[in-house]
């Protein structure tokens, strides 16, 4: 049995009102991530954004470089520690990132699901 964890894309705490961008690798036109929030107070809006620009910044960047993918991510709602599995097939863009906007002090562990 393989006990190796998938690579960490982000592990850490975010302050209320903070925005963080986490790049998610695209492999063979697919992406996957295990998005975990580690406590019952975490609350955030999480959006999967895509870009066809290889040089697009993984930080805020310009609005026209990144587009909301319309993939619904049920994020933390200050209820309990939990997680969400993000799996998207047939991705035609070059880059993907998660845009996380914290609505409370939050702690995340986000893993690459396609490594």
Given this model, what pLDDT does residue 1 score?
Answer: 43
Backbone angles phi, psi at 85, to 5 degrees: -100, 120
Structure-token pair, residue 41: 């107070």
Here the CATH number for the domain that contains residue 92 is 2.60.120.380
Task: Please check whether residue 30 is in contact with residue 92, taking contact to mean a CB–CB distance below 8 angstroms.
Answer: no
Rounded to two decimals, what is the model's pTM? 0.90
Three-state DSSP class for residue 109? strand
Task: Please check whether residue 7 is in contact with residue 70, taking contact to mean a CB–CB distance below 8 angstroms.
Answer: no
Tell me the C-alpha distance between 61 and 70, whole Å: 19
Q: β-strands 44-51, 67-68: how paired?
A: antiparallel
Please indicate, yes or no, if residue 40 is contained in any of the structural domains.
Answer: yes
pLDDT tens digits, one per residue of 43-80: 999 999 999 988 777 777 777 889 999 898 888 988 89
Task: Please check whether residue 31 is in contact with residue 106, taking contact to mean a CB–CB distance below 8 angstroms.
Answer: no
Please indicate, yes or no, if residue 86 is contained in any of the structural domains.
Answer: yes
Tell me the C-alpha distance between 85 and 99, whole Å: 16
Domain that holds residue 103: 8-112
Please indicate, yes or no, if residue 3 is contained in any of the structural domains.
Answer: no
Please indicate, yes or no, if residue 1 is contained in any of the structural domains.
Answer: no
pLDDT tens digits, one per residue of 3-49: 568 899 999 999 999 999 999 999 999 999 999 999 999 999 999 99
**How many domains does the chain contain in total?**
1
Please indicate, yes or no, if residue 95 is contained in any of the structural domains.
Answer: yes
């Amino acid at each position: 049995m393989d006990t190796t964890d998938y690579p960490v894309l982000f592990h850490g705490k975010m302050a209320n009102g903070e925005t963080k961008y986490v790049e998610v690798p695209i492999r063979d036109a697919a992406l996957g991530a295990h998005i975990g929030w580690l406590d019952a107070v975490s609350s955030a809006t999480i959006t999967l954004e895509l870009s066809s620009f290889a040089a697009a910044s993984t930080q805020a960047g310009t609005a026209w470089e990144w587009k909301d993918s319309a993939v619904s991510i049920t994020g933390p709602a200050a209820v309990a520690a939990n997680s969400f599995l993000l799996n998207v097939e047939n991705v035609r863009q070059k880059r993907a990132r998660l845009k996380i906007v914290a609505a409370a002090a939050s702690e995340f562990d986000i893993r690459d699901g396609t490594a």
